[in-house]
Structure 1
Amino acid sequence: MAYEFIKVDREGPVTIFTLNRPEVMNALHSPAHFELHEAFDAFAADPEQWVGIVTGAGERAFSAGNDLKHQAGGGKMGSPPSGFAGLTSRFDLNKPLIAAVNGIAMGGGFEIALACDIILAADTAVFALPEPKVGLAALAGGLHRLPRTIGVKRAMGMILTARRVSAAEGEQLGFVNAVVPAADLMAEAKKWAAMISECSPMSIRASKEAVMNGLDAPSLESAIKEQFKHPAVAALFKSEDFVEGPMAFAQKRAPQWKGR
């Protein structure tokens, strides 16, 4: 499907989502949110798509977050039930997402990255939750995901000052997985996606679902016991991949994953 404000490209089992409003540093408005909602819905439903990469068009920005000029000008407001960028309130997506942060990731842009499972950053990337400086708050998940990722004190040091953090500091703080030269960012993201794709997609989905649900379990014991009730974990045990993996290992060959 053709979109106006985003681009969606497929490379084998990998889907690349590009926020495509470089003229406003990939800031998002209501129409873009709904396009992303539709694109992520399609990705979630497609059994042939195993891994997603989210990035921004151009060299300046991943996303500057909410399009405040659109808002101030009386533009149509609203977002889908899946949240900012069709992603920040999408809690049932068990396919992995990689954020390839190619520049500024401010406010909602940072929240998009935090909603992904892995954050790879160009050495030119900058992160912040600057909403308090314009009388807002990072209510699209940033206030909750950042403390869960790097700890309360470190997160509060960013949230309460609204300060900007470099890619290198983001890696030091623990919310960035790797920093690479800007020219190498997409190659790095595709390398990570390829490594994930070498694994059984059924195993990857079960693993993500168990981790994310387990974070809110009241105890480690509860998380371990409850994981067998998660849909993706149950699906793993019934899948062709569950048979193929051990068989390929025994036959000393590469597994042929089916994702079912």
Structure 2
Amino acid sequence: MAAALDAFAADDNQWVAIVTGDGDKAFCAGQDLKSELPTSAASLPPSGCGGMTSRFDLDKPVIAAVNGIALGGGFELALACDLIVASSQASFALPEPRVGLAALAGGIQRLCQEIGMKRAMSILLTGRRLSAHQAAELGLVAEVVEANVLDCAKRWAAEIISCAPLSVRATKRVARDAAARPLSETVATIWDRPEIAGLLASADAAEGRSAFAQKRPPRWQAR
């Protein structure tokens, strides 16, 4: 997973990635509790569980297409993605406290950040499982489908790809940083960020305006 995501990050022709499970039973069932457990961050790959949970420099969007259970590290992997779509049969949980452990791959922090402390604690302290529709109601899942969830993810990817790639990447980086900093600071400094300056000076910025004026689809160059 880490190698695949490294290759995705390095390839200018790849603009969106989709992570999903094989079959319809599980997206990722998490740690095998019968195997030896990691005892420190050094026990994990540098990019974390699934090559994603400790990856903070990836500006391209990653979509989680959750096709079944996403438990423990599997839920943490989905939370580390930028957007989650789910099968109606999917479910989510961080059940580590039920077996004397804790969600140590960013799940605690991301869940609190994304849905608020009180709602997050109702999940974290109980290890209870959420259905796909419950996760959507909490704002964790963008869309729940009865049909093939991978097709749903591809539809979202196509919509993202229709936008300028530099705009998408700059927006992701600013949004990610803004989540951890005061609004007064991020609004005041956004124009000074190098990715924003590069975006505004890019060929795609000129192309977007030309395409709008000429009433035609834009031809993005990602540079």
For residue 241 of structure 1, the aligned residue among 204, 212, 218 is: 204
- Separation in 2 of the partners of 1:174 and 1:63? 20
1:214 and 1:227 in contact (8 A); partners too: no
Q: Can you give the 5+ residue segments of structure 1 that lack an aligned partner in the other structure?
A: 1-35
- Separation in 1 of the partners of 2:19 and 2:58? 14
Is the counterpart of residue 222 in structure 1 residue 222 in structure 2?
A: no
The TM-score, its normalising length taken from structure 1, stands at: 0.81
The TM-score, its normalising length taken from structure 2, stands at: 0.94
Aligned-pair identity in percent equals 55
Equivalence for 1:55: 20
Q: Which amino acid aligns with 1:251?
A: Q
Q: Which amino acid aligns with 1:199?
A: C
Equivalence for 1:146: 111
SS in 2 for 1:44: helix
* Alignment map for 1:85-100 (pairs within 5 Å): 85-100=50-65
Q: Which amino acid aligns with 1:97?
A: V
Is the counterpart of residue 206 in structure 1 residue 170 in structure 2?
A: yes
SS in 2 for 1:70: coil
- Separation in 2 of the partners of 1:51 and 1:231? 22
What CA RMSD, in Å, does the superposition of the two structures yield over aligned residues?
A: 1.4
CA drift of 1:226 comes to: 2.3
CA drift of 1:231 comes to: 3.9
CA drift of 1:190 comes to: 0.5
For residue 136 of structure 1, the aligned residue among 78, 82, 101 is: 101
- Separation in 1 of the partners of 2:200 and 2:83? 26
Q: Which amino acid aligns with 2:178?
A: G
- Separation in 1 of the partners of 2:5 and 2:189? 27
* Alignment map for 1:99-110 (pairs within 5 Å): 99-110=64-75
1:96 and 1:208 in contact (8 A); partners too: yes
1:209 and 1:230 in contact (8 A); partners too: no
1:120 and 1:179 in contact (8 A); partners too: yes
Q: Can you give the 5+ residue segments of structure 2 that lack an aligned partner in the other structure?
A: none
For residue 133 of structure 2, the aligned residue among 149, 168, 172 is: 168
Equivalence for 2:195: 232
Q: Which amino acid aligns with 1:141?
A: G
- Separation in 2 of the partners of 1:251 and 1:132? 58
Deviation per CA, 1:183-220, whole angstroms, max 9, x where unpaired?
321111100000000000000001111111111112x2
CA drift of 1:83 comes to: 1.1
Equivalence for 1:196: 160
Between 1 and 2, higher relative CO (CA 8 Å, sep ≥ 6) is seen in 2
Q: Which amino acid aligns with 1:249?
A: F
Q: Which amino acid aligns with 1:180?
A: V
Is the counterpart of residue 39 in structure 1 residue 4 in structure 2?
A: yes
- Separation in 1 of the partners of 2:219 and 2:166? 12
Q: Which amino acid aligns with 1:91?
A: F
Q: Given the superposition, is the C-alpha separation of residues 80 and 228 from structure 1 closer, same or farther in structure 2, using an over 3 Å criterion?
A: farther
Deviation per CA, 1:63-94, whole angstroms, max 9, x where unpaired?
0112223326xxxx932211111111111111
